[in-house]
Amino acid sequence: MTRIVPAPQPPSEQQPPQVNRWLVTVAVTVGTLMGAIDASIVNVAIPYIRANLGATITEITWISTGYIISLVIVMPLTAWLGATFGRKRVYMTCLGLFITASFFCGHAHTLMELVIFRCLQGFGAGALQPTEQAILRETFPPKEQGLAMGLYGFAVMIGPAIGPTLGGWITDNYNWPWIFYINLPIGIIGLWMVSQFVHDPPHAKARRSEAGVDAVGIIALAVGLGCMQAVLEEGETNDWFNSNFIVILTVLAVVGLAVFAWWEVCRAPKPAVDLTILRKATFTTGTLIGGILGVSLFASLFLLPLFMQELLGYPAMTSGLVMMPRALVMLTLLPISGMLYNRLGPRVMIGGGLCIAGMGAIMMSRFTLDTGSVQFFWPQVTQGVGFAFIFVALSTASLMGIEKARMTSATGLFNLIRQLGASVGTATFATLLSRGQQGIHAVLVKHINPYSVAYSIEFNRIQQGLMLEGINSWDARNKTLAILDGIISQQAGVLAFERCFYIIGMLFIVCVPLVFFFKKSPTQGHHPMEH
């Protein structure tokens, strides 16, 4: 009897080998976590790098600016890259580029070398977050999507929170190149794990033959996002639109993004970025809230260490340790939030998280020069709880109902808007803080005059104290005026910080009504509403 051998399946229909989902999770989280940490780890080492390379303050900021510009350019192109070359291949190539660039960053001898290799690092890191999110969405069954997004949130939310503390410790105990060299052994382990445990799904393999090169869209996107990011990063330093450099970059950003949107929607035969996915109401709403989350999270990560170091005199390492409770709370609650999502649903999780995070920011608006470690602790814990609730539910609900073939496109846009929100938040609140300090200082000075009883008492107390130290009356008077001006500047700084924290809190609160775009609970077997 002749034995019939079944014909082999075409490549597009072959199922990938079954692999333990926890091994897949660890494999793809390693690279994402390193990329997220490297976005902030370098900040505390900037004074050391500047001294070592002989760069000015304006020049040295480009080691952060270049990284973020490269990151945001690649993020929305992740789906196109995966469709063209294969998702696993793109992830491994980008992780390999990140590792290689890390070595050369640590080995850089000039500022130009360091900026170039930081840009290459950013290009490598840009595809890691969206790809991990898409892989985890497909690896975990529908009932465990909240858990999957909790694991993803562990990497993208914890990374920026622990980066400054880790960077401060490495720089203090070793030297600044080690903040880059530490990526090498961890990255190589991650690269090996991805090669062994991660496989492209059938639908991703099938799309490779359909992919084309959308040169116009890619160039317009790179110009638009690159110039926009440069404006956000360098605007405050260059006095915004009083600088011709910023004006030119703004025009290029607007034109580039307008051409990109028109081309992708109206003309591109095979768009590099699928913008039609924004027609889904829940995805667009979730992405918008994600942008607000990026604004608020990164603005507070920017403002809080600045408050502690400039007004309270904390060293960088201490300010990083003070901020650790938020990271530890998020680390603990992110997986738990994933399990709670199936019980509470997106409305309760996101709405509650927004209120809790807003409350934490409003608590920060009560900080003074007498604030101690206990007063810093509780707002950090409160925000950690809020961020954990928001991120897991937001990632899960926003991407619910997205077809597998479009998942990487959706995750690319979702991560892009959150990263742009981070840049907008940092730039906006840096300007609000600077202008606020100047304006409040001017108002306070108006109340300082010889006819004020409180002013006269304080002036005489300081002047007499200086004269008792042997300083003549004229010099004592001038030093007293300088001391009083310093006190006024300090108080103006406190009030400006308080205003910024309060605005951050209100940003969370005003987003609460948006939660009604989501269905009440996924446990009823329905997906979030789509239009």
Overall average pLDDT of the 169-181 stretch: 83
Compute the distance between CA of residue 396 and CA of residue 521 in angstroms, rounded to an integer: 12
User: What contacts 495, CB < 8 A, 6 or more positions away?
Assistant: 436, 440
Q: At what angle do helices 473-510 and 281-306 cross, to 10 degrees?
A: 160
How far is Cα of residue 331 from the mean position of the Cα atoms in its chain? 16
Compute the distance between CA of residue 311 and CA of residue 490 in angstroms, rounded to an integer: 7
Q: What is the b/e burial string over 125-141, where b = at least 16 CB atoms within 10 angstroms of the residue's CB?
A: bbbbbbbbbbbbbbbbe
Tokens of 399: 């991407």
> pLDDT by residue (tens digit) across 430-467?
788 888 888 887 887 777 766 666 677 777 777 777 77
> pLDDT by residue (tens digit) across 208-234?
445 556 677 778 878 887 888 778 777
Higher pLDDT, 122 or 517: 122
Percent of the chain with pLDDT over 70: 86
User: What contacts 481, CB < 8 A, 6 or more positions away?
Assistant: none
Q: How many CB atoms lie within 10 A of CB 438?
A: 12
Compute the distance between CA of residue 209 and CA of residue 308 in angstroms, rounded to an integer: 55
> pLDDT by residue (tens digit) across 139-159?
777 777 666 777 777 777 677
Compute the distance between CA of residue 130 and CA of residue 386 in angstroms, rounded to an integer: 23
> pLDDT by residue (tens digit) across 50-61?
778 777 766 777
Count of alpha carbons within 13 angstroms of residue 28, beta-carbon side: 33
Q: Which of 23-27, 192-196, 221-225, 448-452 has the largest mean confidence? A: 192-196
How many residues comprise the chain?
A: 531
Supply the mean pLDDT for the chain.
Answer: 78
Q: Quick one: pLDDT band at residue 101, thresholds 50, 70, 90? A: very high
- Residue 202: what pLDDT? 65
- CATH topology for 17-212 is Growth Hormone; Chain: A; (1.20.1250)
What's the pTM value of the predicted model, to 2 decimals?
Answer: 0.74
The domain segmentation of the chain, as residue ranges, is 17-212, 216-269, 440-495
